[in-house]
Amino acid sequence: MATVIALTNQKGGVGKTTTSTALAAGLVTFYHKKVLAIDLDPQGNLGFSLGLDIEDSHTIHDILTGKVLTRDAIQKTDYCDVIISNILLSGAEQEFSSSDREMLLKNALAPVMQDYDYIIIDTPPALNVLTVNAYATADYLIIPMAPEILSLLGVTQIKETIDSVRQSLNPHLNVLGILLTKYNQRTLLAKEVKEMAENIASQIGSRVFSTQIRASVSVAEAPAHGVSIFDHSPHAKPSQDYRDFIQEVLNITKQKSHQEGR
């Protein structure tokens, strides 16, 4: 049975897709896990970052609207299996109107849950029906955030949604941690935001990851080449940071699974 991890933050530009891509690719490259990455963002950046054409293939929108079976929309890449997204998904709030609209993703993934070790979900920078679907499906949330005040506000607004989903849809939803991205430890703002993030993490029963992802141009360059950060710039600081982060994720999930008797 797959462990499902959703990457989320209402604020855009915090490294959510970059982290989703690195996590999915790293689990395969370094730990030989079977991974499915799912793009729930209408911008379609996850598929693009992994070298896929997002215009002429079946998408998560096709799955959620019942046009294709989940297995038929899965594409292979050099790193992992992927279900792509495109701009059609932007109408989900109006289009998905059934009584089970918040459980569409969970129901769609049920037939493939046994095929993977991990399912990684990249969510849109919004708190909408797509985000709620991801929360309803996930075992764990990871919240990437940049050392900026607006990014911090995005994290505080997530708390209410998490509480609501736990009460009505997914009582086992767990916030694995807050990941600081684009980090420069020499700035006063970064240190202040880290302290505030630790306060927020304690309020939602979570933590700030020990690893921070340092800022580097290599992070922005990798998607343009359709390869992971590990292949594009294996010796860059963010590559090492993401490797450390993935190890931390594996350690924490293993510990939690043991505590919960999974």
Does pLDDT of 24 surpass 70?
A: yes
CB 39 within 8 A of CB 122: yes
Per residue in 12-28, is it b (16+ CB within 10 Å) or e — as a string?
A: eebbbbbbbbbbbbbbb
pLDDT tens-digit profile of 125-143?
988 999 999 999 999 999 9
The Cα 16–Cα 10 span in angstroms is: 10
User: Residue 227 has what pLDDT?
Assistant: 86
CB 211 within 8 A of CB 245: yes
- Of 29-38, 119-128, 145-154, the range with the lowest mean pLDDT is 145-154
User: Residue 190 has what pLDDT?
Assistant: 82
Instruction: Give the range of the structural domain holding residue 221, as residue numbers without chain letter.
Output: 3-260
Domain count, the chain: 1
Please give the average per-residue pLDDT across 106-134, as a whole number.
96
Does pLDDT of 261 surpass 70?
A: no
Maximum mean pLDDT: which of 8-17, 107-116, 177-186: 107-116
CATH code assigned at 135? 3.40.50.300
Q: Report residue 235 CA to chain centroid gap.
A: 24
Average pLDDT score, the chain: 91
Count CB-CB contacts under 10 A for residue 76. 9
pLDDT tens-digit profile of 167-205?
999 999 999 999 999 988 888 888 888 898 898 899 888
